[in-house]
Amino acid sequence: MLQLAHIHQVVVDEQGKPRNHRPIEHLLGPRINYAGLLAAMAEQTPRRVPLLVEVRDVTDAVRSCEVLRNGSVTARLPTCSFVEAC
């Protein structure tokens, strides 16, 4: 049974290198269809599952959570919590 879902955005920088843990700016991201992912999770999981959104910058993490919550096609998203890395 699914215990936790983990997502993060990967972007390609100016030098063509992939960079992980960037902000999620749109539900229809350049590599991941977050709207489809969230709809599938809401439809296919028998219970709510925590969604870990891994973003390095706290401000970007808040913005990413707002994009996922406010632009979501489902009302099953939990309230966002933030944990800063040490």
Go through 8-24 and write b for each residue having 16 or more CB atoms within 10 A of its CB, e for each that does not.
bbeeeeeeeeeeebbbb
Q: What is the radius of gyration, based on Cα positions, of the chain?
A: 13
Q: Give just the sign of the alpha carbon dihedral 79, 48, 19, 10.
A: negative
Supply φ then ψ for residue 17, to 5 degrees.
-95, 140
Q: Which of 34, 76, 75, 30 is nearest to 53 (CA)?
A: 34
Q: Which of 7-16, 27-36, 56-65, 73-82 has the lowest mean pLDDT?
A: 73-82
pTM passes above 0.85: no
Average of per-residue pLDDT values in the chain: 79
Domain boundaries, the chain: 5-70
Residue 73 has pLDDT above 80, yes or no: no
